[in-house]
A and B are shown apart, each in its own frame.
Chain A
């Protein structure tokens, strides 16, 4: 019998106990995998923000508008390569609970600034040509089963048309997919020109501007220059990097990071106790047997490795199963909930999970292993 076989045989001798322990480890890693994926999807906007992108909003708050004339004036600031603007629509489909992240954009520059949005060239052309065209993110298209060529009515809880209707009807010209899974595609976009001409109030204002800088080292100066340009006007601005803007937005939800940390921490301490305790029990029950192993020539080091190997194997089996289950569950959530479409178990999460498995195996096995190593053959066998 090889050493590994011995460990395996030991582990599955008490099947019920081992199964229960594996279940508790499995659950700890399942919780970790799902919560870490959730957090990573919340942070995707921060992690994937373009370093060369700046966001200009109204200084009082980003929900307030600014004149469209700002776009041309901003484009003239040295170092600014491309400027686009967008306006929040407050959209929903059929019923208010089918909330849509919808905004009106300046089409060509907007799509140029966001290279992570993949759109077939023919669909892009179609969108630019059709004033009532609509670009639909894949997450939304999947949720409502929309296809290119469909005509969809979208309602606004903010705006009204000049004829007092709250419904705009669009032709779907294209479906946007993300360059990678974590790129958020839970949105729809349409042409600002169409929006401006049909809405009853709002005039020549836009919601915010997005710009691309030629050189990220110039970002600080460009931000200062833009805000100085509009200082002391009725519409003062505040310019931030896209990353800072997205970070502030997420933090308004509350401290998600801390909540995830507390819950995962609590789950792991619980499991640490359960598993550590089981390992202690196991070694205590096998005192005689270990003494026999030592008598037939097992060194203290080998006995130590035997016990530690068992706890490591335990952590690995439960952990890998837990991470796999978390992967399946997050994929299922991402496909069914469009708000969480970017939820995916990243490689980083999997690596952290492996480190945690090693730590768990080590922490729960160390004390029992030392104890096993120190078992005195004469006393143990003499006890009988």
Chain B
């Protein structure tokens, strides 16, 4: 047993020491594996970043009321009477003055100019109710100030001012023959809301001729468990019969389609490319075995077993692909981590998100690299283990 281990160590070292003799071949395997890992990770990081932004947007103790079947905020309409009924629902947290913490909101779309492509893109303009700051936690004004009630004033999310033109602080904007001023910029910790523009709901109702209707009502619940109470309340009143979701559920649903699409592209691409890299790895390792045919046969002749030859070749292959995997991960991380991108989210509007890596993702990349190394090594290693002794005399 000890002898076999010793033999394995010797043969493995010989394999590894001989890599520089096949520098270009080995390097091509490393780089091929690096590219495959890099492409897979780029897609995974994109899907992960998008999901983190959208899912992270929801609070579990905020409920959203939408018209049944409306799918997104843009399509929903709630009448004034419904807004008032919601305020009387059970399970809603109360403010200092005893008022139910609800925010009737409008959600319309305005154009922004994407800085990267200089083309127009849809941005959500949200009208907030007077109690919105108590319903939504974690909003911080990072520049300027909040809009004032009843004024034509806007505050813009941090992602909007970074990625889009036309919403700089102090800028005048014309919407439907009225002038608006950008008075502030807000942060919500990298959520979807940072891709939005906010204003006073009453002013927007007027501008968009919506009368007293709104699109959604958000409420702060006294606990996440109150969601069921709100649902029962809504279902039992024929005037309501609305879709009630926690914000967490709502945004998880909104992210699903995009997430599926990225994964749908990323994995098949990575797997297809893996086959290409695998062909390279196999060629490299077969070449490695062929080049040492005489050496292996000689060692067999002086008493080395087949197992050490197998393990030596396997180790070489795994090492090369592991190096490739690590390089690909590193390269992809340096190139993409934290890079911002924008795409269409729910309701045809833009969602700004950042590529995001995580340990779990990197693990997937490295596993893929090692699988290529394993499959690319196992067949050549099998050949190495079965080199006939006669080859020592025939080869060369």
A interface residues (Cβ-Cβ under 8 A, vs B): 16-17, 20-21, 23-24, 27-28, 30-31, 60-61, 63-64, 90, 96, 155, 157-158, 166, 201, 232-236, 247-248, 251-255, 262-263, 266-267, 269-271, 273-274, 276-278, 280-281
Contacts and interface: CB of A to CB of B under 8 A. Distances in A.
A252 B195 CA distance: 14
B121 interface: yes
A96 B254 CA distance: 13
Given A27-B276, A61-B111, A276-B28, A16 B269 contact: no
Contact of B283 (A247, A248, A278): A278
Contacts of B77: 201
A16 B28 CA distance: 19
Contact of A252 (B72, B122, B208, B282): B122
A151 B47 CA distance: 40
Contacts of A270: 31-32, 35-36, 273, 276-277, 280
Interface string B102-144: 0000001111001011011110000000000000000000000
Contact of B117 (A23, A27, A63, A255): A255
> Main SS of chain A's interface residues?
helix
A60 B111 contact: yes
Most chain B Cβ neighbours within 10 Å, of A27, A253, A271, A273: A273
Interface string B10-47: 00000000000000110010011001101100100000
A194 B209 CA distance: 24
A30 B272 CA distance: 9
Most chain B Cβ neighbours within 10 Å, of A16, A233, A252: A252
Interface string B281-320: 0111011000000000000000000000000000000000
Q: Which 6 A-B pairs have the closest CB atoms?
A: A274-B280, A20-B279, A24-B279, A24-B276, A277-B28, A273-B28
B344 interface: yes
A280 B175 CA distance: 65
B204 to A, nearest CB: 11
A125 B287 CA distance: 71
A254 B343 contact: yes
- Interface size class on chain B is 35 or more
Contacts of B273: 27, 31, 266-267, 270
B276 A23 contact: yes
Contacts of A96: 69, 71
Nearest to A57: B111
B176 interface: yes
Given A64-B108, A278-B280, 17 more contacts: A60-B111, A61-B109, A63-B122, A157-B70, A234-B176, A252-B119, A252-B344, A252-B348, A253-B344, A262-B39, A267-B273, A270-B32, A270-B35, A274-B276, A274-B280, A276-B28, A278-B283
B70 A274 contact: no
A248 B208 CA distance: 24
B34 to A, nearest CB: 9
A23 B274 CA distance: 11
B215 to A, nearest CB: 11
B286 A267 contact: no
14 contacts: A17-B283, A17-B286, A63-B108, A236-B176, A252-B122, A253-B343, A254-B341, A266-B35, A269-B31, A269-B35, A273-B28, A274-B280, A281-B25, A281-B283
B279 A21 contact: yes
B234 interface: no
B28 to A, nearest CB: 4
Contacts of B39: 262-263, 266-267
A141 to B, nearest CB: 24
Given A23-B279, A60-B175, A266-B35, A166 B69 contact: yes
B117 A251 contact: yes
A102 B279 CA distance: 47
B358 interface: no
Nearest to B277: A270
A86 B341 CA distance: 32
B329 interface: no
Nearest to A31: B272
A158 B348 CA distance: 14
Most chain B Cβ neighbours within 10 Å, of A28, A263, A270: A270
Nearest to A21: B279
A60 B109 CA distance: 8
A274 B276 CA distance: 8
Interface in B260-276: 269, 272-273, 275-276
A218 to B, nearest CB: 24
A208 B272 CA distance: 43
A187 to B, nearest CB: 16
Contacts of A64: 108-109, 208
